[in-house]
Structure 1
Amino acid sequence: MIKKILISSFLLLSLATFAQQGSASPYSFYGIGEVRFKGTVENRAMAGIGLEKDSIHINLENPASYAGLKLTTFTIGGTQSSNTLKNSTTSESANRTTIDYLAVGLPLGKFGLGFGLIPYSSVGYRISSTSSEIEGVNTEYSGSGGLNKAFVGLGYAVAKGLSIGADINYNFGRIEATSIAAINDVPYGTTELNRADLSGVNFNFGAMYEHKIGKKLNAYGSLYYSLENSLTSTNIRSVSTFFADSGIDTFDLQESSKKLSYPSKITMSAGVGEARRWLVGAKLAYQENPGEANEYNSAANVGYGRYATASVGGYYIPNYNSFTSYFKRIVYRGGIRFEKTGLVVNSESIDDKAITLGMGLPLPGTYSNLNLGLEIGQRGSTKGGLVQQDYINISVGFSFNDKWFQKRKFD
């Protein structure tokens, strides 16, 4: 059964990854769009904390974790996002439903293999301005698309408590941006379409360590390093004039190609807990200013700085092997996150902060589970004439587990 689910889901996600518009944020205009969270619903519900080498859950944030898998694991997750966009005078609402990831993990002795697909960034905005004045200018800006990652990673258990890993990502996607301008009482207007086809490869390395510090307590550490990498952006720009009574006339078409270079990124996590009972941890991530990689979508009064994020989170299980109470086997998760996106508009830093909650619900009679997550956050502010984005994300993920590649004892 799991094999049929696996094949069907990969086909569906392959189509949906290209088609879905995963952002409703006006800040997705800049760079390659709004960067999505990479991990699973389980990690997201703990504000991004992923410290343990779980035997039945895939930790997409560090390939070293694959070495801890004991069962073949197939996972898929999605999010319903409700957004309120407001400035000092008006407010609008927007909703999005997205597929967040699809991945498979295979235990191979001391090795562990993981592979799958992740939408990495999303572009989705529509901004219009109208004028009632004679010869007033009416404009509309819209964008869609994003960047996706197909990845494969390998983890290896070097010694008791220590594992290392590496993964390779093939990045691909398309971003389209359209701007329309028309003047009142003038029977024609102009349309500019910019399309960027993106592709590239990047490598990441990770290590995870677990050490017993008491009869029940364990200390956990995780290190993840993304090498400097680049994307090739193949761009097509066309400018057209549209007439009220005679259609569209395209008079300018330009093609170009550009390399977008991104600096290395380091993520460090540490925590303490009791295995299969509770865990509390913290995560820090840092990346230098990508510079011109963001500026191919340049705009006035926009700058870029360093990216950084800090989060604290964890989980609690009352009694993971209780036979008398289902609720005691539920995993309760929570966390707090603060992120500096690196984007600066009108001299205001666009920061993102959120609180997260979640539950892991065991599916009866199996090692599989249903995971739910809630994220309540805010991106940007109304200072400097900007837009504040208040969002509520409800995430659902399934983790299906089974034993593959076993010899039959009986025919």
Structure 2
Amino acid sequence: MQVKKTFRSLFGAAVLSCLAAGAVAQTSSINAFSPYTMYGIGELSTPGTLSMRSMGGVGVAVRNPGVANMLNPAAFSAAPRKTFLFSFGIEGQNYYNSQSVDNTSKKSAYNTFNFHDIAFQIPIAKKVGLGFSLAPYSSVGYRTQYYREYRPNDPVWGNIGPMQYTYQGEGDLSEVKLGVGWEPFKNFSVGIAAQYYWGRIDRTYVAVPAAVVGDGNFNSIVGTGSYSISQFKGQVGLQWNAIFSPRRALTFGTTFDFGGDLRPRSEERIYTSDSSSTPVKGDTTNLKLVLPRQLAVGAYYQTSRWAVGLDYVYQNWGGRNKGIARTAVANGGSFDIAYTDTHTVKFGVEFTPSRYDARNFFKRWSYRAGLRYGNYNQTFGGHGLDQYAVTLGFGIPVRFFGTSAIDVGVEYGSRGFNVSRQTGLIRQRYFKFAVGFSLFAGSENGEYWFVRPKYD
């Protein structure tokens, strides 16, 4: 008896997808496009598979044998014996930035497209499961300009004239997670996971001065900088089924991420744009950049038709990192930029009219919606940036009485809307479209991958 062709094809797809995603992560392709990613490690990605992200990002308490839970390692123990669950997704994004300067509106837009996540979950013993995931953790992508007007009374720049600054950067930080979940008591599970973060972020700025009078020229200044990160961290999680019956279930969950210093290797170079690109400054240092401790708690209630989830996530960015920089804004002022603690609330709902309706295919679909609200992890001159997202999606079952599905999700979000008019900061809006695939092999579709053959 040979291993089934379906197993070979799915396993091959999983390996190729992991390799492809790893290559994508290491090439620092742009996954975000926002001027707010100019500092630190950039914009944090929303974790979780697409079915969770379509419900606002909830998932700490999700415990479902047919869903790969990337948020809580305690959920790995839910994997039924003789099964294999594999999930991956791709995502496209459209960023729209607007700013009001001297009663003039300025706008820009940019599109990105990339892999979002790869995950699998398998049983390794009775009530013990193994989980793996690969996903972007944060992304940097921006191109912006700042024009410094001529100031004749300035003791330094009075003899030079106006300056044109151009800033750009790109890169990302990826997270690999490998964990084990165990159910030592009925309806109570614990989990532990190792997290590995790696990536590279590159930044460049060019300063071009112009003479005040005459045709004299000055050499422009070019600065480059890069972060290289490679570090391990850890996570623990718990889940408890307060109610568990064939008709309904109520699950509570919590996770704690230890965080810790990423110790990025920073390479800084400054050149003058003469014929030989003369280096003015160059050094390599290890900076202190600390990932926050994170505490997440959640509740998840589900029946055969409905599922409702609520999560709260706290991260102490401000308590573990000092100020980042000082930046100028369009109205002529400047802001100190600093990290701040974040608080995020997520809510989601899923409705499946009839999972086993043999006549109406659309009644077997799962329809999802969600809302996420919180604050950005940086402040500008003491001004915090609120951000929110509204999500919608649906899951299409691949076969009747099956768990495998094709997921589709959309998300609309905004950042900085609460202070953009008062401070001159940019209001960012974005739209995301994603497609995910959940492949489940087990007794439900007649594939027993982990049964020893009796005949050869």
Query: TM-score, normalised to structure 1's length?
Result: 0.94
How has the CA–CA distance of structure 1 residues 292 and 205 changed in structure 2, closer, same or farther, with 3 Å as cutoff?
Answer: closer
Which residue in 2 is equivalent to 1:17? 25
For the residues of structure 2 that align with 1:346 and 1:95, how far apart are their CA atoms? 29
| Farther off after superposition, 28-37 or 214-223 | 214-223
Which residue in 1 is equivalent to 2:346? 311
Which residue in 1 is equivalent to 2:127? 110
Q: Which runs of 5+ in 1 are unaligned?
A: none
How has the CA–CA distance of structure 1 residues 408 and 367 changed in structure 2, closer, same or farther, with 3 Å as cutoff?
Answer: farther
Three-state SS of the structure 2 residue aligned to 1:364 is coil
For the residues of structure 1 that align with 2:245 and 2:451, how far apart are their CA atoms? 36
Q: Deviations over 1:65-115 (max 9, x none)?
A: 111122211111121111110011211111111211111211223111011
Q: CA deviation at 1:214?
A: 7.9
For the residues of structure 1 that align with 2:314 and 2:277, how far apart are their CA atoms? 47
| Farther off after superposition, 300-309 or 173-182 | 300-309
Q: Deviations over 1:38-68 (max 9, x none)?
A: 1111110001112332112201010111111
Three-state SS of the structure 2 residue aligned to 1:28 is helix
Q: CA deviation at 1:247?
A: 4.8
Which residue in 2 is equivalent to 1:392? 431
For the residues of structure 1 that align with 2:370 and 2:278, how far apart are their CA atoms? 54
Q: Deviations over 1:239-280 (max 9, x none)?
A: 00113xx25222321111133233421101113331x32111
Q: CA deviation at 1:238?
A: 0.5
Three-state SS of the structure 2 residue aligned to 1:59 is coil
* Identical-pair percentage: 26
For the residues of structure 2 that align with 1:342 and 1:296, how far apart are their CA atoms? 12
Q: Deviations over 1:298-345 (max 9, x none)?
A: 654223321110121121111112222211111111111101123211
2:137–2:173 Cα contact (<8 Å) kept: yes
Within a 5 Å distance, the mapping from 1:147-296 to structure 2 comes to 147-185=173-211, 186-212=217-243, 216-243=247-274, 246-274=275-303, 276-291=304-319, 293=321, 295-296=323-324
Q: CA deviation at 1:124?
A: 0.5
How has the CA–CA distance of structure 1 residues 147 and 373 changed in structure 2, closer, same or farther, with 3 Å as cutoff?
Answer: same
For the residues of structure 2 that align with 1:122 and 1:77, how far apart are their CA atoms? 17
The yes-or-no answer on 1:4 pairing with 2:12 is: yes
Amino acid paired to 2:199: G
User: Which of the numbers 326, 330, 336 marks the counterpart of 2:365?
Assistant: 330
For the residues of structure 1 that align with 2:279 and 2:202, how far apart are their CA atoms? 17
Amino acid paired to 1:374: V
How has the CA–CA distance of structure 1 residues 360 and 409 changed in structure 2, closer, same or farther, with 3 Å as cutoff?
Answer: farther
Amino acid paired to 1:110: K
Q: CA deviation at 1:199?
A: 2.0
How has the CA–CA distance of structure 1 residues 278 and 127 changed in structure 2, closer, same or farther, with 3 Å as cutoff?
Answer: same
Higher strand share: 1
Query: TM-score, normalised to structure 2's length?
Result: 0.85
Which residue in 1 is equivalent to 2:91? 79
2:172–2:200 Cα contact (<8 Å) kept: yes
Q: CA deviation at 1:180?
A: 0.5
Q: Which runs of 5+ in 2 are unaligned?
A: 1-8, 151-159, 212-216, 328-334, 443-448
Three-state SS of the structure 2 residue aligned to 1:400 is strand
- Calculate the aligned-residue CA RMSD, in Å: 2.0
Q: Deviations over 1:121-164 (max 9, x none)?
A: 00101101357978321110011112111210111122222211
Q: CA deviation at 1:18?
A: 1.7
How has the CA–CA distance of structure 1 residues 149 and 271 changed in structure 2, closer, same or farther, with 3 Å as cutoff?
Answer: closer
Amino acid paired to 1:399: S
For the residues of structure 1 that align with 2:325 and 2:180, how far apart are their CA atoms? 35
1:122–1:147 Cα contact (<8 Å) kept: yes
Three-state SS of the structure 2 residue aligned to 1:293 is coil
Which residue in 1 is equivalent to 2:331? none
The yes-or-no answer on 1:128 pairing with 2:167 is: no
1:31–1:297 Cα contact (<8 Å) kept: no
Amino acid paired to 1:101: D
Which residue in 2 is equivalent to 1:146? 172
Q: How many residue pairs align between the two structures?
A: 408
Pair member with larger Rg? 2
